[in-house]
Amino acid sequence: MKNLLFLILLMTLTQAHSQYPYKLPELKYGYADLEPFIDSTTMYIHYNKHHSGYINNLNNAIKNSVDTAKSIFELFANISKYSDAVRNNAGGFYNHSLFWTILTPEKNTQADQFLQEDIQKTFGSMDSLKKLLNKAASSRFGSGWAWLYITADNKLAVGSSPNQDNPLMDASPIKGIPILGIDVWEHAYYLKYQNRRGDYLSAIWNVINWNEVTRRYHEVIPKPKGKFDDWKEILNFHELLSTSFHSAEKGNFAIIKSQSSKLSSAAQALASSKIPNAFKSPQITSILKSLASEAKTLDKLVKKKSSDKKIMKALNSTHEFFHKIVEECK
């Protein structure tokens, strides 16, 4: 029963195109946009020659068969019964379709608080996760993939697979739904990095799209229904605060320096928002005003290029006002 539910879930996941005839998905950025971490020639060849090749081969391998009516997930669920041509090219189609989406030229994409907490609980920290993934990728002999995936009992896990296998395949020793995959075939890095797979693996973290990894995470593990779901202004403020506050606590002020005016606007929007009836009180209104004022001060300090110490003090104070609000709303 669990396996059946798992399969149904897989089949409902949003995919670019998950049935015959398989097509090359649109690349949402230019070939040169991931420079200097992934070079433009590699991107061009990887996408237009390798990925495209897997797709053509897969379509040819299953045309005129009943498999044209099956989804890619149904093929994966029984892949051990198929030829190597279907297995390798179906994997090649799916893995690369996922890979392009979890890369981005956008800076400062973030795992949301739920994924961050899960990563912390499972691996200890984001850095430990990166080390584990890099270890899985660097120790994969020959060609293959390293994965962050979600197991059937909703746990995060890290592993690797050979060739174009992936955790969705019945033949794979690691099983689950991948949410981040790193291509460690030489065609993914050789032109720029030659034999230095480690350098490619260090560089790739600069272009990982955590927003997309988070979206994929919540396709499998939905966001819990929170008490603030009907108060979008507080959720918006919290998201901005949590990403900038936790980085600043660790000495990284880049996010708060680039987001202080957004944070201040979100605090003003929160202070003037319609407070849900369940939380209305004179105390809440008063703390919301203080929060907006402190966020404004914080933004001014950032714009004046004040010291990190002063910025941290204002950020701490903003954070404390926010927690007073949460406390009052209990």
Give contact residues for Fe ion (rule: CB under 5 A): 183, 185, 188
d(CA 140, CA 186): 12
Between residues 22 and 185, which has the closer beta carbon with respect to Fe ion? 185
Contacts of 232 (CB under 8 A, 6+ apart): none
Which two tokens mark 205?
A: 């973290």
CB of 187 to Fe ion, least distance (A): 5
| Cβ-based nearer residue to Fe ion, 47 or 279 | 47
Token representation of residue 32: 């040169």
Nearest CB to Fe ion, comparing residues 9 and 45: 45
Structure-token match 């797979």, residue found? 197
Least distance in Å: CB of 185 to Fe ion? 5
Give least dist CB 214 to Fe ion, A: 23
- Which residue lies nearer to Fe ion by CB, 185 or 217? 185
Nearest to Fe ion of 51, 296 (CB atom): 51
Nearest residue (CB) to Fe ion, 62 versus 188: 188
Q: Which is nearer to Fe ion, 132 or 188 (CB)?
A: 188
Residues 2, 152: contact at Cβ < 8 Å? Answer: yes
Pick between residue 20 and residue 185 the one whose CB is nearest to Fe ion.
Answer: 185
Q: How near is the Cβ of 91 to Fe ion at its closest, in Å?
A: 10
Q: Dmax over Cα atoms in the chain, in whole Å?
A: 71
Asked if residue 204 lies in contact with residue 37, where contact means CB atoms within 8 angstroms, the answer is yes
Minimum distance from residue 88 beta carbon to Fe ion (Å): 12
- Shortest spacing between CB 306 and Fe ion, in angstroms: 46
How many residues are listed for the chain in this entry?
Answer: 330
Residues 206, 68: Cα–Cα separation, whole Å: 38
The percent helix, strand, coil of the chain (3-state, each to 5) is: 60, 10, 30
Please tell me what DSSP assigns to residue 23: -
Nearest distance in Å: CB 96, Fe ion = 6
Q: Which residue number, 188 or 208, has a Cβ lying nearer to Fe ion?
A: 188
Cβ-proximal residue to Fe ion, closest one:
183
- The residue type of 148 is L
Smallest separation, CB 46 to Fe ion (Å): 6
Nearest CA to 111 among 213, 226, 237, 235?
Answer: 213
202: amino acid identity, one letter: S
Q: C-beta of 199: minimal distance to Fe ion in Å?
A: 17
What are residue 167's phi and psi, to 5 degrees? Answer: -70, -5
From the centroid of its chain, how far is CA 12? 19
Are 267 and 261 in contact by the 8 Å Cβ rule? The answer is no
Neighbours of 151 (CB within 10 A): 16
